Amino acid sequence: MKYDIKDTKKAQEGKMRVEWAESKMLVLRLIKERFAKEKPLRNIKIACCLHVTTETANLAITLKAGGAQVSLCASNPLSTQDDVASHLVVHHNIPVFAIKGENNTIYYQHIKTLLDQKPQITMDDGADLVSMVHSKRKELIKNIIGGTEETTTGVIRLRSMEKNKVLAYPIFAVNDADTKHLFDNRYGTGQSTMDGIIRATNVLIAGKNVVVCGYGWCGRGAAMRAKGLGANVIVTEVNPLRALEALMDGYWVMPMAEAAKLGDIFITLTGDISVLRKEHFKVMKDGVIVCNSGHFNVEIDVGDLKKMSKKNRKARSFVQEYTLQNGRKINLIAEGRLVNLAAAEGHPASVMDMSFANQALCAEFLIKNRKKLESKVYPVPEQIDVKIARLKLKSTGIKIDVLTAKQKKYLNSWQIGT
Ligand code: ADE
């Protein structure tokens, strides 16, 4: 079996941590048990380009239990947990191509190697697999049944491909399922982003001005958790509705040109490019912390920062301190890559449980419905979303009410008013 990982010696450490995560992923465990009996993915080649974490390991093991031939590469050069890669290779015979800290060339080489296995399903986190298939490996398309996409950023890329009529196979937008973005993007990103900042810097959040750039589901989560830790939260937005929502959620709202002068900690989660740039770095206070929790490392103009600096040095693990010409220092975490996965462990397992349950069930749905699907971006079928919510509640031991016959009838009628 071919693989490319840091080493195979950390397999035991990885096993322990993957099992710990599994104990918090009860919906995925149920799916794995059913998959093991029914083998709905029998002999299907699935290429996964996902963050190589303990949670992803449990997804890969679930897909394999369902009969799939799974291979895995990283969806970010800094997010790989090397012990997890080691465990998957040594104990599960799952080919992994991922090393924490790999450079861009190796990152894309790993994606290419994964595609050499001629996958029938692509499972993406950011759409790098799909993008490479459509640009450089078009000959693979005839073999591909479909794909799934985990992130907001990836779904935006895919919708653009669909609009431009280049998308050549069906893809399920896992990100858009309610059981995904309402929990993973909000509570997962909220917690893991603060976790990454704290692990990298050990700064006190209480009393700090935290600037949250972007008020999508991830931004909402980050703002909520920063506030919970005692920060004064400033939100920057370009969307008037979201800006209004942030205001009424109790945050300061202002343009970045103003926020840049006030912030102590900056977090970008917009999905767009050059959110923090030269004009902002120029007016920042001495000693600020700057990081990104959006999918790609394009939100902070690190090139600008380098050009404006007379020197830079490593201040701590994951923290690079830039000294500007004006003498002020700016601390950048994890090179502007995902702070939660580079400096911490990503979202906790119990929230990834629902995201990856969506991934596994969409793979099954793709195979069952392959003849009916067109080359479009599809929403996750509602029955899958609702089923995952029910199973998650059940596994948490929470019961809910059911409508009475009278209530059901009322909801289906229009005659009764006051
Ligand atoms: N994305 C965010 N957190 C993650 C995790 N723990 N595993 C995989 N992908 C993630």
For residue 313, what is the domain's CATH number? Answer: 3.40.50.720
The reply to whether 368 falls in a domain is: yes
Residue holding tokens 């490319």? 4
The strand order across the sheet containing 329-333 reads: 252-253, 232-236, 209-213, 265-268, 288-292, 329-333, 319-324, 309-316
The reply to whether 332 falls in a domain is: yes
| Other Cβ atoms within 10 Å of 249 Cβ, number | 15
Residue 223 CA, distance from chain mean position? 17
Point out which residues pair with 148 in neighbouring strands: 123, 172
Distance CA 13, CA 47 (A): 25
The reply to whether 141 falls in a domain is: yes
What's the Cα-to-Cα distance from 407 to each of 390, 399, 402, 417, rounded to whole Å?
Answer: 21, 19, 10, 14
One domain for residues 205 and 338: yes
Q: Ligand 1 mean position to 51 CA, how many Å?
A: 6
One domain for residues 351 and 337: no
- Where does a domain end: 315, 342, 369? 342
One domain for residues 88 and 200: no
Does the structure show a pLDDT above 90 at 339?
yes
Kindly state the average pLDDT of the residues 391-408. 96
- 3-state secondary structure at position 5: coil
pLDDT in tens, 185-222: 999 999 999 999 999 999 999 999 999 999 999 999 99
One domain for residues 32 and 77: yes
One domain for residues 114 and 136: yes
CATH number at residue 50: 3.40.50.1480
One domain for residues 194 and 250: yes
Give the pLDDT confidence score for residue 26 in this predicted structure.
Answer: 98
One domain for residues 272 and 143: no
Give the pLDDT confidence score for residue 137 in this predicted structure.
Answer: 97
Residue closest via CA to ligand 1's atom 9 equals 51
One domain for residues 261 and 291: yes
Q: Please, where are the H alpha helices in 137-206? A: 152-163, 178-180, 189-201
Strands, E, within 105-214: which ranges?
Answer: 121-124, 146-149, 171-173, 209-213
The reply to whether 216 falls in a domain is: yes
Contact 187, 154 (CB under 8 A): no
One domain for residues 230 and 276: yes
Q: Is 55 touching ligand 1 by the criterion CB < 6 Å?
A: yes
Domain count, the chain: 2
Pocket perturbation via mutation, ligand 1, pick of 175, 347, 355 by most ligand atoms within 8 A of CB? 347
pLDDT in tens, 243-293: 999 999 999 999 999 999 999 999 999 999 999 999 999 999 999 999 999
Kindly state the average pLDDT of the residues 388-404. 97
- Closest by CA position to 78, among listed 315, 336, 405, 309: 336
- Kindly give the number of the ligand 1 atom that is closest to the alpha carbon of 192: 3
Q: Is 180 touching ligand 1 by the criterion CB < 6 Å?
A: no
Distance CA 279, CA 295 (A): 23
Distance CA 21, CA 348 (A): 8
pLDDT in tens, 341-368: 999 999 999 999 999 999 999 999 999 9
Pocket perturbation via mutation, ligand 1, pick of 192, 193, 359 by most ligand atoms within 8 A of CB? 192
Q: Is 208 touching ligand 1 by the criterion CB < 6 Å?
A: no
Distance CA 294, CA 303 (A): 18
Contact 3, 89 (CB under 8 A): yes
Q: Ligand 1 mean position to 317 CA, how many Å?
A: 21
The reply to whether 86 falls in a domain is: yes
Q: Ligand 1 mean position to 302 CA, how many Å?
A: 24
- Where does a domain end: 318, 342, 366? 342
Q: Which residues contact 96 (CB under 8 A, 6 or more apart)?
A: 3, 4, 5, 52, 71, 72, 73, 85, 88, 89
The reply to whether 253 falls in a domain is: yes
Q: Is 53 touching ligand 1 by the criterion CB < 6 Å?
A: yes
| Other Cβ atoms within 10 Å of 379 Cβ, number | 12
pLDDT band at 16; cut points 50, 70, 90: very high
Q: Is 295 touching ligand 1 by the criterion CB < 6 Å?
A: no
One domain for residues 157 and 38: yes
One domain for residues 18 and 151: yes
- Where does a domain end: 303, 327, 342? 342
The reply to whether 404 falls in a domain is: no
- Kindly give the number of the ligand 1 atom that is closest to the alpha carbon of 189: 2
One domain for residues 354 and 317: no
Give the pLDDT confidence score for residue 418 in this predicted structure.
Answer: 86
pTM of the predicted protein model: 0.96
Q: Ligand 1 mean position to 94 CA, how many Å?
A: 19
Q: Could you list the residue range(s) of the whole structural domain that residue 293 is in?
A: 187-342
- 3-state secondary structure at position 331: strand
The reply to whether 209 falls in a domain is: yes
Distance CA 97, CA 107 (A): 9
CA atoms within 13 A of residue 192's CA, in its CB half-sphere: 28
